[in-house]
Homo-oligomer: A and B are copies of this chain.
Amino acid sequence: MRYALLISYDGTNYGGWQIQKNSITVQQKLTEALTLTLGKPVTVTASGRTDSGVHASAQVCHFDADTAIPPERLADAVNFHLPEDISVLKSAVAPEGFDAVASAKKKTYLYRVYLARRRQPLRDRYAVHIKYPVDLERLASSGKLFEGEHDFKAYCASGSQVKTTVRTVYSVETNWVETPFYTDVGIRVTGNGFLYNMVRTLAGTMLYCSAGRLTEEDIIRSLKDRDRNAVGKTMPANGLTLERVDYGIDIFN
C-alpha cells in the first residue's frame, strides 16, 4: 500500500531534505521515525529536494508499507518519533498510481525578505535582511517578467544535471506589509518545477532590479540569452519556504 504524507519542517538545523553523509537531513529523520513507527525499514520520497536551510510549510512525500495503523492516524504515530522541528500534518492512502515526484503538477515557493536599516532578530529566522533601498512597485513588476515558459539556465546553479532548463512559471506575486520598524516582503512563485537554486536566484535578481543594480532589459536578456551575468545573486536559504505542491487532486481531503 502506498501512503502520502503532508509534512512541515523548519530547515534551520538540517542539511536539506535528502539523506547524505556529514549532515543530518529531514529525509533521514522522517525515515527513522517511520521505521520506528512501522517496525521495518521504509524509503520515503518527497516531491523534490529542498536545500540545506530551506523550510517547508507543506511538503508532500510518499512511502510504501504494509501496516495495520489506520492511514489518518499515521500522522500522530510518526510525529511521536519526530523532533520538534519536523511535523507530519496529514497522512492518507495515496491515490492509485500516485508518485510524490512524478505526479506533481505545480509547486509554490515563498521567498521572504524584510527591508530595514537595522537587523530585526524576530524576523531573521525566516526572512533575509535587506539594507539597500528597494522600489517595491518595481520589485513586483520585475517578477512578472518571469511568468510564462522560459529557459531558466541563467538561474540554475552550475554543475546541476538536468535534461532541460526550460520551466513554466505560472505566477510571481509580490506583496508587502509595512510595520513600525520594517517592511515585510514576500515573493511567491508558482511553477511546474524549479531548477536548483532557481527561486533564490530569481528573488535576488528581482531585488537587484528593484534597487537599480539591474534593469528589466537585463532580466529579459537573461531569459533569452541564458546569460548568468545578467542575473542577481542567489539569496540565502533561510528566506525560502516550500509552500505547496499541487497534484491536481486533493490527496488529504
Contact = CB atoms under 8 A, between A and B. Distances in A.
Contacts of A121: 8-10, 84-87
Max count, chain B CB within 10 A of own CB: residue among A58, A79, A89, A121? A121
B118 A122 contact: no
A181 interface: yes
A57 interface: yes
A125 interface: yes
A124 interface: yes
A12 B118 CA distance: 20
Interface in A43-96: 55, 57-58, 75-76, 79, 84-90
A10 B122 contact: yes
Interface in A99-125: 118-122, 124-125
A180 interface: yes
Contact of A79 (B79, B118, B125): B118
Contact of A180 (B58, B180, B181): B58
Contacts of A89: 118, 120, 181
B122 A181 contact: no
Interface string A112-145: 0000001111101110000000000000000000
A101 to B, nearest CB: 22
B8 A87 contact: no
A241 interface: yes
B55 A87 contact: no
